[in-house]
Amino acid sequence: MRLSHLQQNHFVPDTAPAPGSVSRTTHLGIGAHQDDLEFMALHGILECFRSRDRWFGGITCVDGAGSARTGPYVDCTDEEMKAIRSEEQKTAATLGQYAFITQLAHPSAVAKNAEQRSLMVDDIETILREARPEVVYTHNPFDKHATHVGVFLAALEALRRLPKTLQPRHVYGCEVWRGLDWLPEQRKVLHDVSAHPNLAAALSGVFDSQITGGKRYDAAVEGRRLANATFLDAYSIDNVERLSYAIDLGSLVNDSHLSPQRFAATILEEFSASITEILPAAVPP
């Protein structure tokens, strides 16, 4: 594959040849930073883990230079942090038995700037055309991290460029920097991530530069998954132990005339209606 950034790297945990490592992919995660895939696309990782005919592949779009750091990482330069995070991502790919992990190494500022995103979009499109995944996991339009939203927009543009014959069956926007428990019930996609809790913990724990470096993402993500499962339904017992929410982005991918703003606004209007329906209309005297 011809990708744009000189520092990009493509890692295959097993011995599959490079072209075959991508084309065998059935489930593809497109995330912003090192660790985003393990937090938001665990469903795909678990679906493929130790499977004979399903493979999870990953794209990490930005270089991770701007991460918070303290403790043993406090004196790391941006270049050193980029190298550390890249190795952590490769370790996660090995533990999770990924088909491949490609780190595009674009600066975060590129993802956040529509005028600079074109090469990132080209890179994602190149991988999509070779992988031809059945399922894609990426960020959602309600995420509050600007880099995540930029990657969501880049992934959306790349997906829209594909001919219908190469379109994935499912495209999901997933939780990271904002949960999706508030979504109207008809909009929620439920991903059971109860299996292999030890693997999930190991995948999160790999990213020591973030955890020891000042952010307990591992504990926070596990807490969210447990809370999602418990607070899904007030009137029935829990049927799963851990749950991730996602939103179906299929209509947004398939309709190039539907703007992300209109897509998001429609869902927010549905959420607003669901609240006002159960509140009394009259103000008590």
**What pLDDT digit, counting tens, does each position of 82-106 carry?**
999 999 999 999 999 999 999 999 9
List the one residue out of 173, 166, 90 whose CA is nearest residue 125: 166
Please tell us whether the domain made up of 9-276 is placed in CATH 3.90.15.10: no
Kindly tell me if the per-residue pLDDT of 280 is higher than 80.
no
Average pLDDT, the chain: 94
Q: What is the pLDDT of residues 188-204, one digit of tens each?
A: 999 999 999 999 999 99
**Can you give the pLDDT at residue 25?**
97
Specify the amino acid at residue 107: P
Are the C-beta atoms of residues 27 and 47 closer than 8 Å to each other?
Answer: yes
Both structure tokens of 283: 């103000």
Q: pTM for this structure?
A: 0.95
List the one residue out of 113, 130, 101 whose CA is nearest residue 14: 101
Domain layout of the chain by residue ranges: 9-276
Q: What is the pLDDT of residues 238-251, one digit of tens each?
A: 999 999 999 999 99
Q: What is the pLDDT of residues 129-185, one digit of tens each?
A: 999 999 999 999 999 999 999 999 999 999 999 999 999 999 999 999 999 999 999
**Can you give the pLDDT at residue 101?**
97
